[in-house]
A = this chain, B = another copy of it.
Amino acid sequence: MELDDVDWKLLEILQTDGRITFTELARRVSLSAPATTERVRRLEQAGVLTGYVAVVDHRRLGLPIEAIVRVRVRSLDTPRFRERVVPLAQVRDADHVTGDDCWLLRVVCRSTQELEEFVEHAQRFGDTTTSLVFSSPVRTRPVTRETSDGIVFR
């Protein structure tokens, strides 16, 4: 799919304010509402826009601990790891990646005790390395046209 400036602008706005009305969206890109609606519909259709989600602050939900758990899963154990660890409720992101630490899990927990429990569980499938998250200066930065423009600041 070929995207023009207006499409990129729509994506940028929607990645920032996912609940904006089509009327306001149309105003922001200087198009009519029907044209705007149609473009968004096409972006959804093309699989560029895959959904809309509310963002929550886990710390205000009784889950003050956030950690990245890297797991060096033994290859034979991978299917069981997918079944027994990836689906755990604490796991917010699970990435299968290249390299020695072949899985990266972002988990949130009620307490360090619960994190310990989680890590012990994960360790049944391979060695783990756990890092507590101090802060996340960037969380889900919007993808924009400049993202593929080389080394560019935002």
Q: Nearest chain B CB to A85's CB is how many angstroms away? A: 10
Contact with B along A94-125 (1 / 0, CB 8 A): 11111101001000111000100110010000
Please give me the residue from chain B that is nearest to A120 by CB atom: B151
- CB pair B150–A96 under 8 Å, yes or no, is no
A49: chain B residues within 8 A (beta carbon)? 54-56
Is chain A's interface secondary structure helix, strand, loop, or mixed overall? Answer: mixed
| Chain A interface residue count, Cβ-Cβ cutoff 8 angstroms | 77
Interface presence of A18 (CB below 8 A): yes
The CA of A91 and the CA of B144, in the complex, are separated in Å by 11
- CB pair B50–A88 under 8 Å, yes or no, is no
A11: chain B residues within 8 A (beta carbon)? 54, 56, 61
The CA of A47 and the CA of B87, in the complex, are separated in Å by 27
Please give me the residue from chain B that is nearest to A152 by CB atom: B89
